Structure 1
């Protein structure tokens, strides 16, 4: 029991940090939490624990969105492809095993960091919007089903679309929140999601929401550009370390 309590306390601390990151930027909770958890637990265990905090924090973010109907109308192509491919690929995660999942997580984390650090000028003409929604929505579903991290394609799409900061926060919250449903079904069907992950996951929900509220309050007080760069460099270093461990281990 003391070991389980200490483990849940550690997870709670990770989600306090991850929630704060999400409160400041609107994204980053799954990337932060899964990246840190995989430093001391198996990747499949990490993505199971991550599901509930990801669902509730993004549900809260979606609840606070300015126009829910407009989000559905604007992003339905991305949503349809995301849900379809999440449902299809989530059932394959358990069969891949921890080593392959660790490698995929490393690639996702490195891609997330590199995209946000170095690739910021991509744009597309409005007439190609549906093409990019269908293609990046599909990619998000594949990555998300296998790793529970589908923020990279969402970020790429929204940056290319040149949305406002508020639109970015609302859309990313919606697309991550709604994707948790097929992911949970797939992970439960393959026993990735089970009762063993429940207590640390609940701890992550509580502190994740607290962290999110803290991040919201800190947002106007911080130098967001500097904080974001430091965070992304941390992701990049950890991601490279994970990639090296996956390939050499």
Structure 2
């Protein structure tokens, strides 16, 4: 793939990922790392996502209950940071395709959870110990795959947040995961000023796609779109698993 084609492929990927983010409020790193993993190492893809992740998730933080949500989630968020830093370098060191394999597995699991639409609930009494465990597991998953949806997203959905509170909680979790991963990538040598500049440029197509997605969200059934999204995610995850195993 020549340089021009690669740049167009990357731009198109961020448009699609931003579009998904605009429609359902999450999925930017999942889609982008999954697709970019076809043409580059997962560490490179994750590094390109740093600035788009930070900016596109910032809008989700606005609201009167952010402080209360942060106080409730800080054990999970602290665990996420520890898990990510403990696994720092996994993306960069996995030259045998294992990172792609685990990324595929993560996408498949996430898609199955989404398709099942399971109504999980976490009793308040269990949050004190379960939050840090979920955080550490999410951090290690983030360090190994560049995707930070598992198991954090199902856990947050199981806490019983109202719609707007859940949006804030997801945004906060994603931002903390992005910052923790960025430090890990810097330490592993996968993120430098050159990559940061490319990440800044990737923000433009991501915002364009997100804007279109937000507009379309008002016109289509969210349930129908989610079904298509998770089915596509399942297919992508299966492809990455088969490619890594082949």
RMSD: 2.0
Match of 1:239 in 2: 237
State the shift of 1:28 in Å. 0.5
| Alpha carbons 2:148, 2:177 under 8 Å: kept | no
Cα deviation, 1:123-166, whole Å, max 9, x if unaligned, reads 12221122221211111111011212111212111222132222
How many equivalent residue pairs? Answer: 246
1:91 and 2:77 are equivalent in the alignment: no
Q: Which residue, 177, 181, 184 being the options, matches 1:183?
A: 181
Could you tell which deviates more after superposition, 84-93 or 143-152? Answer: 84-93
Tell me, in whole angstroms, the C-alpha distance in 1 between the residues paired with 2:215 and 2:68. Answer: 26
Partner in structure 1 of residue 29 of structure 2: 30
1:211 maps to what in 2?
A: 209
Unmatched runs of 5 consecutive residues or more in structure 2? none
Q: 1:209 to 1:71 in 2, by over 3 A?
A: farther
TM-score normalised to structure 2 length: 0.91
Q: Who is 1:57 aligned against?
A: 56
Alpha-carbon separation, structure 2, partners of 1:72 and 1:191? 30
Pair 80,87 (structure 1): closer, same or farther in 2 beyond 3 Å: same
- Report what 1:20 is aligned to: 19
Distance in 1 of aligned mates of 2:40 and 2:179: 24
Report what 1:74 is aligned to.
72
User: How big is the shift at 1:60?
Assistant: 3.2
Instruction: Note the alpha carbon deviations across 1:36-95, whole angstroms, 9 max, x for none.
Output: 111222323222212221122112332x34432122112111111111111221233322
> Which deviates further from its counterpart, 4-13 or 202-211?
4-13
Which whole-Å deviations, capped at 9, do the CAs of 1:93-117 have from their partners, x for residues lacking one? 3222250110111111111101111
Structure number having the greater helix percentage: 1
* Counterpart-to-counterpart distance in 1, 2:180 and 2:187: 11
Q: Could you tell me the TM-score, scaled by structure 1's length?
A: 0.90
Query: Distance in 1 between the 2:219 and 2:96 partners?
Result: 40
Residues 54 and 177 of structure 1 are in contact (CA less than 8 Å); yes or no, is this contact kept in structure 2? yes
Most deviating of 91-100 and 32-41: 91-100
Instruction: After the TM superposition, list the runs of 4 or more consecutive aligned residues in structure 1 that deviate by more than 6 angstroms.
Output: none
Judge conservation of contact 2:36–2:45 (CA < 8 Å) in 1: yes
Quote how far apart the aligned CAs of 1:25 are. 1.3
Cα distance change, pair 212–61 in 1 and its aligned pair in 2 (3 A): farther
